[in-house]
Structure 1
Amino acid sequence: MSSPTHAPVTRRRVFYIPGYDPIHPRRYRELYRKEGAEQAGLSGYDLALSARKSDGRYGWQVDATIEGQAVHTEFDVLVWSDIVRDSMERGIAGTYLQLIRTAWTYIASGALFRLMRLRKGPVIAALYPVGFLVVQLVLALALAFGLWSAIVWTWETLFRPPDQLFSDAFVYVLYGSIPVALLAGYALLRWFKARDNKLFAYYLMHDYAYSAQSKGANPPKLEARMAQFTDEIAAALTRDVDEVLVVGHSSGAHLGVSILADLIRAGRVPENGPTLSFLTLGQVVPMVSFLKEAHRLRADLHYLSTREELAWVDVTAPGDGCAFALCDPVAVSGVAPKNQRWPLILSAAFTQTLSPARWKALRWRFFRLHFQYLCAFDRPGDYDYFQITAGPQTLGHRYTDRAPSPSRITRATSRFTSMAA
C-alpha cells in the first residue's frame, strides 16, 4: 500500500467507535491507561494519559514520546451505549422471542451457513447464546415439572384417602400447584439473567438480534447518531491536527465504514486538511453485510474500498473467536470492485505476539481476547495500538508497502450482494 502522507505527526485526533457495548465509556479510558502504561514499559517509550481540557464528548488526551518524537493526541469516544442499553431492555419472555426471530433470520436467509464457510468461531459465538438460553429454559421447565410432581406426590402420599381420587382437594392441589411450580422456574431464569455479566448469554443474544431485527438495515435512531458522528469527524478535519484517526472495534467497524463513506460522498474531506485514517479491529462486518436488507452497508463497503481520501487498515487475529479473522469485509460480502485498494488486511497473530504463558492464560477467555487489540502485547510485532494512536506516524505511513496477510480470505460468500434498497 502507499501512504497518503509521510509528514510526521505531532498532533492527532482519534475517534473511537465501540462495538455493541452498554458500558460507560470510562471503561475504554481506564483500559487505555492501564494497557498503554504496560506497553510503553515493554516497548521502551513514554506515554501519559490525562483528563480532557476541552469540552465535547467523553474522552481523554495522551502525551507520548515515541521514536524520539513528542506527540499530543486527543481521544473522543463516539458513544452509542445508550442506544445499546435501550435495545437490551427486554424481559425474559422478550429475549426468548428475540431468540426465535434472530435464529429464523439467519437460518432462513442462508446467512448462517454461508458465514460458517468463512469462520466457524464467530458463528459458534453466535450460536452460544441460543444454545445456552435454551438450556436455561429446559432447566427452568424441569425444575417447574419436578416441583409440581413433588407437591402432587406429597399430597397423595400424606393426605389423600385411597377412595378420594378426584376429590375437590386433590383437584385443587393438582392445578393449584402449577402456578407455584412455574414461579419457581421463572425464578431460576431470573437467577441466570442476574448472572449474565459472567455468562453473556442475554448480552450476545441482544447483540445479534439488534442487526437481525431489521435484516441488516440500520435502525433510524442509530442512523441519526451516525450522522452526528459524521459531523464531529468532519469538524475535526478542519482543525489544526496532522491526522484524524477513526478506530472501529467489533460492531463499531461497520458503523465506521458507513460514517466515513457518508463523509467522503458529501465532499467533507478537505484537500489540504489532516490525513484521514481508518483502523478496524476485530470486525464482524459479515454478520450484518450478509443479511438481505444490508444494502447501505454493502454500498458503503464497495464505495470506501476505492477511495484515495483515506488509508484503511483492518486488523484481526485467528485467535479471536468472535471476529471474522483475516476476512476481507468488502470481498467476502461480494461487493469488491475491480479497482479495490482497501482495506489492508493484517493479522495481530496472538500466538506470536503474546508469550506462551500469556496466550495460555487468555486462550479460553474469548470475550477478553476480543479486546486484545486494545491491549498490550508482551511480544509485539508490527501492530501496536498505542504507537498507532499516539505515535509520530500516520496509519498509512506506518504500513507503507506492507503486504496483506497471506492467509486473508477474499472469496465472495454472501448470498445477498444488492447495493440498492
Structure 2
Amino acid sequence: MVPCPATRPTTAALSDASPVAVRRVFYIPGYDPIHPRRYRELYRKEGAAQAEISGYDLDLTARIGSPKSTGGGYGWSVASRMDGAVVASEVDVLVWSDIVRNSMSHTIAATYMQLIRTAWIYISTGALFRLMRLRKGPVIAALYPVGFLLLQAALACAAFAAVLSLGIFATDHAERAIWPDPAYTPLISYGAALSAMLGLITGYAVLRWFKARDGKFYAYYLMHDYAYSARHGGANPPALEARLAEFADEIAGALAGGADEVLVVGHSSGAHLAVSILADLIRDGRVPLSGPALSLLSLGHVVPMVSFLPGAYRLRADLEFLSQSRALTWVDVSAPGDGCAFALCDPVAVSGVAPPRKRWPLVLSAAFTQTLSPARWRELRWKFFRLHFQYLCAFDRPGDYDYFRITAGPMTLGQRYAGRAPSASRIERAVNKYTGTAP
C-alpha cells in the first residue's frame, strides 16, 4: 500500500482555510441510462427552490451543450451569493450512461436469463443473506424486480393456459355438434395446436405490456442494474475501467486548474466509482500537495451490493486505502427514509476492510423525517425512487445538509463539517465474508 503524503493538509487545516471563490464539481451518477441533461434541470429547479427557502442567490447558465459521444462531461456554471460571499462553481456530469444503455438486455428472454444468473450469484455466495443483516430496504429493493418479473411470467403463463383451455373446450363442443360420434375427432388436434399458438401470443403480449410500461414499474431497469454489478462478481467490466481512467484524467486536470476546491459527488452506485477514481489519483501521486482542497461527497450509496461479492477486490482495496487518506475529506450522507440505499452503513466498515488508522468517511444522516416538513414527507414517503434522489433536491426544513450550499457555497466540505460528530445510529459492524483486497 502506498502511504498518503504526510504533508497534505488535514481536515483540521482545511477548516481554517480561506473561503472558496472558485470550485470544480464532478457529479458521478448511478446506473442511469438517461441523458445527463436531467441532472442540469434537476439542479436548476431544485436549486431555485432551495435558494428561495434558505435566502440565498443561485444562478445557472448552460456551459456544455451535449456530452461527448464516447463519454466525458456535460455541465453547467453556477454563480451564487451566500453568506456575503460570491462563488463561481463549474459542475460537470461524468457521463457513463452509454455504458449503462449498452449493458441493458433488449429482449425479454435475455432479461429473464439475467434474473436467473444474478439471483444465483447473490444466493450462492451468501451475499444476499449478509446484506439482509444491514438494511432490509435495499434488499427488498433488490428482490423487488425478481419478484415482479416472476409475477409477470406467472400472469403470462396463466394467460397461455386460459387461452389454451378455452380453445380446446370450444373445439371440443364444436366438434360434438358437427360429428356426434365420439370416436370421430378430426378437429381436436388442429384446435389444440391453434389454441396453443394463440396462448403463446397472448402470454407474450402480457410480457410485452409490462415491459412497455417499465417506466412506471422499474422492474427491468432494476434487474439490469443488479445484473451489471453481479455479472463480473463485483469487478468492473473493461469498458467501465477505461471510462474511470478518463474521469480520473478530467479530475486531475481540475486539480491543476486553480480552483479552491475540487468536489467529487458520487450518487448511488456512482459512489463506489468515485471511491475507485480518487483512490487511483492519490496512489498515482496526481493530487498536488499545494493544490485545491479535494473532497468526496457520497450520497445514498449502495456499496455493499458490490463489495460483498467475491470478485470485488479492487473496490475493497480502494475503500481501505481511501479511508486512511489525509489527501481528501470524505463525507457520506444517506437517510433511513431512502429505501434504495444502505442508509448510515459505513461503506468501509461493513465491507470488512476498516484499517486501524481509519479516518473516513464521516457518516451523516440527511434525516428526511426532520428536514422535510410533515406534509412534504407524507407526499414523498412511498415514492421510493424519488426519495433516492432527494439528496440532490431542496429541503423545506433544511438542516446542516444542503446540496446547493455544498456545491455552490463559500465553504469546502472539510470546513463545513469540521468538528461534526458522525451519526450516532450509523452501522459499522463488519458482516462481509469476502474481505480480500487482492485476488
User: TM-score band (shorter)?
Assistant: over 0.9
Alpha-carbon shift at residue 71 of structure 1 (Å): 0.2
In the superposition, relative to structure 1, how do residues 165 and 241 fare at CA in structure 2: closer, same or farther (>3 Å)?
farther
Alpha-carbon shift at residue 7 of structure 1 (Å): 1.6
Alpha-carbon shift at residue 168 of structure 1 (Å): 3.3
Deviating above 3 A after TM superposition, structure 1's stretches of 4 or more consecutive aligned residues are 53-56
Pick one of 200, 206, 229 that aligns with 1:182: 200
| Deviation string, structure 1 residues 395-419 (Cα, Å, up to 9, x no partner) | 0010000000000100001010000
Say whether 1:168 aligns with 2:179: no
Q: Give the conservation status (yes or no) of the 8 Å contact 1:4–1:311.
A: no
Q: Give the conservation status (yes or no) of the 8 Å contact 2:333–2:344.
A: yes
Separation in 1 of the partners of 2:12 and 2:426?
19
Q: Give the conservation status (yes or no) of the 8 Å contact 1:9–1:394.
A: yes
Alignment match, 1:113: 129
Pairs within 5 Å for 1:65-80: 65-80=81-96
Alignment match, 2:55: 44
Say whether 1:249 aligns with 2:267: yes
> Which letter does structure 1 place at the counterpart of 2:102?
D
In the superposition, relative to structure 1, how do residues 3 and 412 fare at CA in structure 2: closer, same or farther (>3 Å)?
farther
In the superposition, relative to structure 1, how do residues 357 and 3 fare at CA in structure 2: closer, same or farther (>3 Å)?
farther
Q: Give the conservation status (yes or no) of the 8 Å contact 1:3–1:400.
A: no
Separation in 2 of the partners of 1:27 and 1:407?
33
Separation in 1 of the partners of 2:123 and 2:152?
22
Q: How many residue pairs end up in the alignment?
A: 421
Pairs within 5 Å for 1:394-413: 394-413=412-431
Alignment match, 1:59: 75
Separation in 2 of the partners of 1:310 and 1:277?
5
Say whether 1:17 aligns with 2:47: no
* Residue ranges of structure 2 left out of the alignment (5+ in a row): 1-10, 67-71
In the superposition, relative to structure 1, how do residues 44 and 165 fare at CA in structure 2: closer, same or farther (>3 Å)?
farther
Alpha-carbon shift at residue 164 of structure 1 (Å): 4.3
Which range moved further: 17-26 or 53-62? 53-62
> Which letter does structure 2 place at the counterpart of 1:335?
V
Q: Give the conservation status (yes or no) of the 8 Å contact 1:304–1:342.
A: yes
Identity between Structure 1 and Structure 2 (%): 68
Pick one of 284, 306, 326 that aligns with 1:266: 284
In the superposition, relative to structure 1, how do residues 68 and 53 fare at CA in structure 2: closer, same or farther (>3 Å)?
farther
Separation in 2 of the partners of 1:211 and 1:187?
30
> Which letter does structure 1 place at the counterpart of 2:304?
P
Separation in 1 of the partners of 2:313 and 2:13?
30
Separation in 2 of the partners of 1:340 and 1:15?
25
SS at match of 1:117: coil
> Which letter does structure 2 place at the counterpart of 1:44?
G
Alpha-carbon shift at residue 165 of structure 1 (Å): 5.3
Alignment match, 2:368: 350
SS at match of 2:132: helix
SS at match of 2:133: helix
SS at match of 2:14: coil
Separation in 1 of the partners of 2:422 and 2:194?
67
Alignment match, 1:31: 42
Alpha-carbon shift at residue 54 of structure 1 (Å): 9.6
Pick one of 153, 156, 160 that aligns with 1:140: 156
Root-mean-square deviation (CA, aligned residues, Å) is 1.3
SS at match of 1:379: coil
Q: Give the conservation status (yes or no) of the 8 Å contact 2:372–2:397.
A: yes
SS at match of 1:276: strand
* Residue ranges of structure 1 left out of the alignment (5+ in a row): none
Separation in 2 of the partners of 1:179 and 1:36?
55
Pairs within 5 Å for 1:114-133: 114-133=130-149
Separation in 2 of the partners of 1:89 and 1:402?
44
Q: Give the conservation status (yes or no) of the 8 Å contact 1:4–1:310.
A: no
SS at match of 1:58: strand
Pairs within 5 Å for 1:304-343: 304-343=322-361
TM-score by length of 1: 0.98
